[in-house]
């Protein structure tokens, strides 16, 4: 299955990193900021918690790079942005 996670903030990054670590599914993050997407692609996601830490790489793309149809789209943006994001997908 292919997941597209919209919104690479704290919750989007946490969910994407856990999904990547625990499954064999294709996971992509969608970001509207090209510079942040480049940074995350270069450095990956590091998660620290009470059970330790881990580091994963999840592909981060911008809207113009979406050339596939995801099975699931998960939206992790601020409540006031949800309508705009849903409309523009």
Domains and CATH numbers, the chain: 2-88 (3.40.50.720)
Q: Are strands 45-49 and 52-56 parallel, antiparallel or unpaired?
A: antiparallel
- Written as one string, the DSSP assignment of 49-88 is ETTEEEEE---EE-GGG--S--SEEEE-S-GGGHHHHHHH
Q: Per residue in 52-68, pLDDT tens?
A: 999 999 999 998 888 88
- Mean pLDDT, the chain, whole residue set: 95
* pTM, to two decimals: 0.89
Q: Per residue in 28-43, pLDDT tens?
A: 999 999 999 999 999 9
């Amino acid at each position: 299955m292919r997941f597209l996670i919209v919104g690479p903030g704290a919750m989007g990054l946490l969910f994407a990193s856990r999904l990547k670590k625990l499954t064999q599914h294709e996971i992509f993050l969608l970001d509207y900021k090209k510079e942040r997407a480049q940074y995350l692609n270069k450095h990956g996601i590091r998660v620290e918690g009470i059970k330790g830490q881990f580091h994963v790489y999840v592909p981060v793309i911008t809207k113009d790079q979406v050339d596939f149809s995801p099975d699931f789209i998960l939206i992790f943006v601020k409540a006031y942005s949800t309508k705009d994001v849903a409309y523009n997908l």
